[in-house]
Amino acid sequence: MRALRLLVVVLVMSTVGVSATSAQDRTRTKEIVVGFGAEPRTMLGVTIVDWTTNNMLEHIYDRLLDRDPKTLKPKPMLATGWKLVNDTTWEFTLRKGVKFHNGEPFDAQSIKATFEYMLDPANKSHYATPAYWKPLKEVQVVDPYTVRLVTDKPYPSVIDHASLTDLLVLPAKALKELGPQKLADKPIGTGPFKFVEWRRDDRLVVERNPDYWAGPADVSRVTFRFIPEFSARMAALLSGEIDIMKDVPPHAVDTVERSGRAKIRSTVSSRINYLALVNLKPGPMQDVRVRRAMNHAVNVDELITQVLRGNATKMCGPLAPANVDFAQVECYKHDPVRAQALFKEAGVDPKTLALTLDTPSGRYPLDKDVSLAIAAQLQRLGIKTNVVVNEWGTHLDKIKNRNTGDMFFLGWGPALHGQGTIEPLFKADATYSSYGNNKLLDEKIAKAVTVVDAKARAAAYTELQKLVRDEAPWVFLWQQHDLYGVASHVEWSPRPDEKVWMYEAKIVPR
Amino acid sequence: MKAWLGIVLTVSIVLAAAGAPWIATHDPIQADFASGLRPPGTPGHPLGTDQLGRDLLARVLHGARLALFIGVCTVVVTAVAGGLLGLVAGFVERWPSTVLMRIADVQLSFPFILLALTINAIVGLGLRNIILSLSAAGWVVYARVVRGEVLAVKQRDYVHAAAALGVGRARLLFRHVLPNVAPSIVVVASLQFSQFIVAEAAISFLGFGVQPPTPAWGSMLSESRDFLYVAWWLAAFPGLALALTALGVNLLGDWLRDTFDPKLRV
């Protein structure tokens, strides 16, 4: 009985929250509270490939280049201009007069130090891998405000990566004097907000940087609250405890709209969701026929209309239309008969097949429910699927350590260029990969990522997408639609690249 | 009165679990997405449906099967293992008794649920492992109670008399001592039963233990949280079933204790 009582207490605590300032107080002081499903994994930039982490970090750090919120094309940020000097050399002109939060000036040395930290194997940065910045051979400081990135092969994705959180710039002097460990506790960047505190499993607080190079933000203080459950996040939004909530469940859209406290803001996201069919460990997913059968067995359209209530755009290959390298490939049709035939051909009896599906809970729109729904669809063919629901950090660790079941559910984004999706997800040695050791695919990827010419690049990626589609390393799912709940006194629009950036938010007293 | 309530509740839950496939005609894991989140009273779904359109009545009843199965298995395993260890410890005394009781003391210093969770994290997920971890965390109570009883019973005249007549030690233990401590084992078992069911629900709620889509009350409660705003029935019925089961079995246990052994304290 005591256990049950404890559970009730925990539930109530998580919904009610402790020491919340009222929404009215916050409007006056221009404070804003954002509710996310998970907490950051570190406070140090260019270390961990994880949207949750980096999205919060880019309030503190700036990228080298930003993206236009509408067209998603790269645009100036810490660099004011860029050009290709030759096939392997990119030159960036840096912004003058920018200062880090500790007073240290930003210049070419900051870029050099950032790469030195990131590429030092001792720091175990995810960005030191071939899919990210490993191709970088040298950072040349031409003068304090001109820097050249030299790669060991032609690498057109330099600009794609420099305009994402893959290049958050760290302070050179502080990095040298304090070391990465200290900076991870108390981060220093050039961003619009300064770090205040990070309480584990509870909140991250940042305050306005009055000297921000693009002018100070309207918001004086941002608190990121970590609330894993959708319903708890909803309760917090509707009670005025938080002002922005990510991923309102589709079935609760009406509740939010009717509340009078908040409204729904939605956008088609560049983020894709997929069901990985893991071939990096022994099991039935080694066989391409089984993987194809899975694609025929799962009814993606039904998942979109019934579970997500239309809030997703179906995807047939590894890339979605938001991706510059997207090419249309033929969809796998929902076809149980074909699936049965393929299972039979592979010598697998679906009736005796027992699979394990790992899923996060609260990280992506209805992630757990989608996973349960997929298990239910597979059940129709007699396949028994155990769904293991993981806490977010555990889920990532399981994927990294190749400890998942035969399948796992994951999202990937912002997925804006082909290399950024295909290289990190289909090569055996990549951090979050579920599939690899395909010689032909490895060869084609290696070639495609070096193509500079636009036409040849399109051809190379079209071929890659067809190949991946045929190899069926995933059950291809969809491009997600992001539904945000935004309090009525906050003016803010979501972006397809998922940059939830409070520098762009305004508090409007009503 | 309390006894009757306990008996009625327990019997009806056992009957409901046993008759699950006949009472609820739906398959508890068969999803029908188009008819998801229907409220109670919907034709064909007296308790409504969950987010995937699965019949809630079927899931609650099959959840009862699972809960009772886990409860019975765990109680049997702990009663046999803990009881035997307690018998031996009480009868042999000297070092086996001391060692066993110190182990029991160490184990009792941890909260039951925490210990069960830790063991579960080590042995892994699944039905067999949850029974294993609950048993490993729960045998101590039997060992302690039985040992205490044995220490008292073996001083009785009839035991001495039997020993004087030349009855062997094993026969003495199982024919003369065991029958006299058996009622205590039964009482402890009935009181432990509901604790095991609640603990299993707690562990499944936290995502360990029995994995979805297998219907377990704990994981059903956990899944219901995302829909608390739009579908109260998803949380209400599994919660009610869990509460009633725990109440019924506890009342039954109280009655058994009052009848067999009013002095026993667990």
Question: pLDDT tens for residues B137-147?
Answer: 999 999 999 99
| Cis-peptide into A414, omega within 30 deg | yes
pLDDT value of position B183: 86
B170 to chain A, any CB pair closer than 8 A? The answer is: no
**Mean per-residue pLDDT, A29-56:** 92
Cβ–Cβ gap A376/B223 under 8 Å: no
Which two three-digit tokens encode residue A76? 């100036």
Better-predicted residue by pLDDT, A198 or B253: A198
**Mean per-residue pLDDT, A215-223:** 96
pLDDT value of position A21: 65
Cβ–Cβ gap B202/A387 under 8 Å: no
pLDDT at A203 > cutoff 70: yes
**Mean per-residue pLDDT, B177-206:** 89
SS3 for A67-126 is: ECCCCCCEEECCEEEEEEEECCEEEEEECCCCECCCCCECCHHHHHHHHHHHHCHHHCCH
What is the chain A residue with the closest CA to B197? A1
- Which chain A residues contact residue B228 at CB under 8 A? 231
Distance, in angstroms, between B170 CA and closest chain A CA? 39
pLDDT value of position B69: 95
pLDDT value of position B9: 94
Rounded to whole angstroms, the Cα distance separating B184 from A53 reads: 56
Partner-chain residue, chosen from A6, A231, A303, that has the shortest CB–CB distance to B226: A231
In the block, which residue shows the tokens 């008794």?
Answer: B97
- Give the torsion sign (CA, A368, A370, A376, A381): negative
The share of chain B scoring above pLDDT 90, in percent, equals 44
Q: How confident is the model at residue B13 (pLDDT cuts 50, 70, 90)?
A: very high
Cβ–Cβ gap B230/A252 under 8 Å: yes
B237 to chain A, any CB pair closer than 8 A? The answer is: no
CB B247 within 8 A of CB B198: no
Distance, in angstroms, between A306 CA and closest chain B CA? 6
Which residue of B33, B130, B214, B223 to mutate against A (max A Cβ within 10 Å)? B33
Q: How confident is the model at residue A5 (pLDDT cuts 50, 70, 90)?
A: very low
Cβ–Cβ gap B226/A368 under 8 Å: yes
Rounded to whole angstroms, the Cα distance separating A242 from A240 reads: 5
Establish whether this prediction's ipTM goes over 0.90. no
CA A471 vs. chain centroid, Å, equals 24
In the block, which residue shows the tokens 């994402």?
Answer: A164
pLDDT value of position A323: 92
Which two three-digit tokens encode residue B28? 């508890």
Q: How do A262-277 and A407-412 pair as beta strands?
A: antiparallel
| Cis-peptide into B179, omega within 30 deg | no
pLDDT at B265 > cutoff 80: no
- Give the torsion sign (CA, B88, B91, B95, B98): positive
3-state helix, strand, coil in chain A (%, to 5): 35, 25, 40
What is the chain A residue with the closest CA to B117? A3
What is the chain A residue with the closest CA to B203? A3
Q: How confident is the model at residue B96 (pLDDT cuts 50, 70, 90)?
A: confident
**Mean per-residue pLDDT, A303-311:** 92
Rounded to whole angstroms, the Cα distance separating B156 from A328 reads: 87
Residues 34 through 93 of chain B touching chain A, CB cutoff 8 Å: 34, 36-37, 51-52, 54
**Mean per-residue pLDDT, A285-302:** 96
Q: First and final CA of chain B: distance in angstroms?
A: 23
Q: How confident is the model at residue A324 (pLDDT cuts 50, 70, 90)?
A: very high
CB neighbours of A489 closer than 8 A, spacing ≥ 6?
A: A23, A27, A243, A507, A508, A509, A510
Which residue of B50, B198, B225 to mutate against A (max A Cβ within 10 Å)? B225
pLDDT at A495 > cutoff 60: yes
Partner-chain residue, chosen from A368, A379, A388, that has the shortest CB–CB distance to B29: A379
Which two three-digit tokens encode residue A19? 């020491």
CB neighbours of B142 closer than 8 A, spacing ≥ 6?
A: B78, B79, B81, B82, B83, B85, B86, B185, B188, B189
DSSP A486: E
Q: How confident is the model at residue B221 (pLDDT cuts 50, 70, 90)?
A: very high
Better-predicted residue by pLDDT, A345 or A509: A345
Least confident of A115-124, A136-145, A225-234, A369-378: A225-234
**Mean per-residue pLDDT, B50-67:** 93
- Which chain A residues contact residue B31 at CB under 8 A? 373, 376-377, 379
Q: How many angstroms separate the Cα of B181 from the Cα of each of A299, A353, B83, B103, B150?
A: 59, 48, 9, 22, 7
**Mean per-residue pLDDT, B242-265:** 84
Least confident of A383-397, A398-412, B84-98, B140-154: B84-98
CB neighbours of B121 closer than 8 A, spacing ≥ 6?
A: B208
- Which chain A residues contact residue B34 at CB under 8 A? 306
pLDDT at A281 > cutoff 80: yes
pLDDT digits (tens, 9 = 90+) for A241-265: 999 998 888 888 988 999 989 999 9
Q: How confident is the model at residue B263 (pLDDT cuts 50, 70, 90)?
A: low
pLDDT value of position B262: 62
* Gyration radius of chain A's alpha carbons: 23
Q: Comparing C-alpha atoms, which of A98, A276, A114 is closest to residue A187?
A: A114
Rounded to whole angstroms, the Cα distance separating B154 from B169 reads: 11
pLDDT at B198 > cutoff 90: yes
pLDDT at B67 > cutoff 60: yes
Task: Name the interface residues of A facing B (CB cutoff 8 Å).
Answer: 1-4, 6-7, 11, 229-232, 234-235, 249, 251-252, 255, 302-303, 306-307, 361, 366, 368-369, 372-373, 375-377, 379, 385-391
**Mean per-residue pLDDT, B126-130:** 89
